[in-house]
Homo-oligomer: A and B are copies of this chain.
Amino acid sequence: MGLIVQKFGGSSVADADRLRNVARIITETYRRGHQVVAVLSAQGDTTDDLIAKAEEINPHASKREMDMLLSTGEQVSCALCAMAIEAMGYSVVSLTGWQAGVQTNSTYGNARIKRVMTERILSELDKRTIVIVTGFQGLNQQGDVTTLGRGGSDTSAVALAASLHADLCQIYTDVDGVYTADPRLVPEARKLAEITFDEMLELATLGAQVLHNRSVEMAKRYNVNLEVLSSFSGNPGTKVKEVVKGMEQSHISGIAKDKNIARLALVGLEDEPGIAFKVFSLLAKEKINVDIILQSIGREDKKDISFTVTKSDMEAATKILEENQAYIGFDHIDVNPNVAKVSIVGAGMINNPGVAASMFEALYSSGINIHMISTSEIKVSVLVDLADADRAVKVTHDKFYGQINAGGSI
């Protein structure tokens, strides 16, 4: 008997049959005596369809109105899911983000949850009512609807789980757990039974797309028990925890790929202090997140700075830097959208300095050129040509897991 938050993504609620399937999962949990709060994304391509509608009207619509528009998607899926549960004879209520008390800041399109006022949800749960909550959205102090950005429904679920002190937060998705690599790309990829928050965080950030990174950060901070599992298979999923048993046994937990990035290079900067500050504070002011940064000495007294941003920020980043060319002082900007980031992640990596070298060796053997390298204690990321990305994942996976399968060691 406990309180379980279950989150279902867009593909899990895409049509009437899938909604009924979700209703079954929710009511089965409820029948086992648990209180259930389900957090739903919008159905299938709804959000993309709404964005297309908006762009037809105004390609530069305000984010405030975009949020007003997009927040309807989850409202539809939640109401329909509640109807499916009603049809099964259970007491249920669907709540929008604002009804569920999800309060955010005012960064439309990418809002942060400040707190969740849980009174309404708790009063529904007290009545033994199943509660369905719209993911991805909240309300700011002005009483306007905000959205949390892509993948924000995971964050909604974890925030609700944390605020409600839920016993478990299950993230249902279209894969049945966290794999050592994308199974669609690497058929030999294996499902992990457990993974640490930190490893998951690196994988999420790196584009494994199983869990939204903000949700993992939040789960780690509030120590929310997370589980990633499939709404289709019924198989056990992957548990995300603070510490994982036998963590030392394997060196890497997974391989991730992120194609949604672009590389910008400022060429011919003066070699003087404060340049990096100028560049990255300008980008920060525009709320553009920068990932890998590489600073290199160029010819004579000049230097170059290369960095990566998401593809959607590429234009804005280029624009703001070009507008400030005189202020920053550089020759020109070189923009390359045809890159991808491939990363290996593993808590066991800390004590195994050979792990990075093994990855570089695998890529070198396959003739894949590395543009940039970035490392953390539990991660090694490389920037490669977009065209090489899938192959880079494959050969890296072969290097680590292929050898294990063959009975060898790294």
A residues near B, CB below 8 A?
16, 19-20, 50, 53-54, 56-58, 60-62, 64-66, 68-69, 71-72, 75-76, 78-80, 82-84, 86-87, 93-94, 96, 99, 120, 143-145
Residues of B with C-beta under 8 A to A66: 79, 83
Q: How far is the CA of A120 from the CA of B143 in the complex (A)?
A: 9
Q: Please, which residue of chain B has its CB at the minimum distance from the CB of A88? A: B58
Q: Within the complex, which residue of B50, B53, B86, B99 is in contact with A143, where a contact is CB–CB below 8 Å?
A: B99
Q: Within the complex, which residue of B65, B80, B86, B87 is in contact with A83, where a contact is CB–CB below 8 Å?
A: B65
- Evaluate contact between A57 and B72: CB separation under 8 angstroms: no
Q: How far is the CA of A93 from the CA of B75 in the complex (A)?
A: 20
Q: How far is the CA of A82 from the CA of B144 in the complex (A)?
A: 14
- Evaluate contact between B58 and A76: CB separation under 8 angstroms: no
Q: Please, which residue of chain B has its CB at the minimum distance from the CB of A92? A: B65
**Which 7 pairs between the two chains have the least Cβ-Cβ distance?**
A69-B79, A72-B72, A61-B83, A58-B87, A58-B83, A68-B79, A16-B56
CB distance from A213 to the nearest CB of B (A): 28
Residues of B with C-beta under 8 A to A58: 83-84, 86-87
Q: Within the complex, which residue of B54, B79, B143, B144 is in contact with A65, where a contact is CB–CB below 8 Å?
A: B79
Q: How far is the CA of A53 from the CA of B16 in the complex (A)?
A: 8
- Evaluate contact between A83 and B99: CB separation under 8 angstroms: no
- Evaluate contact between B57 and A20: CB separation under 8 angstroms: yes
- Evaluate contact between A72 and B76: CB separation under 8 angstroms: yes
Given contact pairs A66-B79, A69-B83, a sample of 16 additional A-B residue pairs in the complex whose CB atoms are under 8 Å apart: A16-B56, A16-B57, A19-B57, A57-B83, A58-B83, A58-B86, A61-B86, A61-B87, A62-B82, A62-B86, A64-B93, A65-B82, A65-B86, A65-B94, A68-B82, A69-B80
Q: How far is the CA of A84 from the CA of B54 in the complex (A)?
A: 9
Q: Within the complex, which residue of B20, B75, B78, B80 is in contact with A54, where a contact is CB–CB below 8 Å?
A: B80
Q: State whether A83 and B54 are in contact (beta carbons under 8 Å apart), knowing that A72-B72, A75-B72, A76-B69 are contacts in the complex.
A: yes
Q: How far is the CA of A120 from the CA of B144 in the complex (A)?
A: 11
- Evaluate contact between B84 and A78: CB separation under 8 angstroms: no
- Evaluate contact between B75 and A87: CB separation under 8 angstroms: no
